[in-house]
Amino acid sequence: MTTPLSLPLLGDKFPAMEVKTTHGMKKLPGDYEGKWVVLFSHPADYTPVCTTEFVAFQKRFDEFRKINCELIGLSIDQIFSHIKWVDWIKDNLDVDIEFPVVADDRGHVAESLGMLHPGKGSNTVRAVFVIDPKGNLRLMLYYPQEVGRNMDEILRAVKALQVSDANGVAMPAGWPNNELIGDRVIVPPAQDHATAKKRSAEYDGFDWWFCHKSLG
């Protein structure tokens, strides 16, 4: 009888691990203390959807850096495969991949983070983990192999988490382009009757439990 994996939950400390990457050995999340991190897995090197994803992440590399966020790729390919694939992308697509890629050739990292799908052989799914500057896991996304990710959404999600943390607010759907309140943010609902009665006078909103404000 196999023991079920205990996958990390949102808010948990990201499990400490040392990994081999195209930029040398790295300690996660220790080497990135004080920074946000987007760790993302791809099914395999030299595959078309994964290639489009790597190019898309690299095109936004500077935007992630501007918000103190580092990118790290991962698959169960060997380090030699990663190096040659990154070189291929540079030589054939004129895109220089600047972020490290983890070579999880034994699958230990992928298995511990739930990146392996039993129905898809040994390839990793398209997982995304957002880690905050304190090493806490803040967001997880899983995509099937057949569907490439939207990197603008991942960038938006990191920005939203940062704004939420800094201001103690919640972020509406599609922020900063929400259909109801635009780029405004949601004030956390009142937790007692007296505060609820004052909310409509203190903030704009649709009711005491749905108030919003501008950060500008």
Instruction: For residues 44 and 61, give the distance between their C-alpha atoms in angstroms, rounded to a whole number.
Output: 21
Instruction: For residues 27 and 12, give the distance between their C-alpha atoms in angstroms, rounded to a whole number.
Output: 17
Instruction: For residues 174 and 160, give the distance between their C-alpha atoms in angstroms, rounded to a whole number.
Output: 10
Instruction: For residues 125 and 4, give the distance between their C-alpha atoms in angstroms, rounded to a whole number.
Output: 18
Q: Is 102 helix (H, G, I), strand (E, B) or coil?
A: strand
Contacts of 87 (CB under 8 A, 6+ apart): none
Q: For residue 211, indicate whether it is catalytic.
A: no
Output phi, psi for 125, to 5 deg.
Answer: -75, 175
Residue of 19, 28, 39, 50 marked active site = 50
Instruction: Output the six-digit token pair for 59.
Output: 């095109």
Output phi, psi for 203, to 5 deg.
Answer: -135, 160
Active site residues: 50
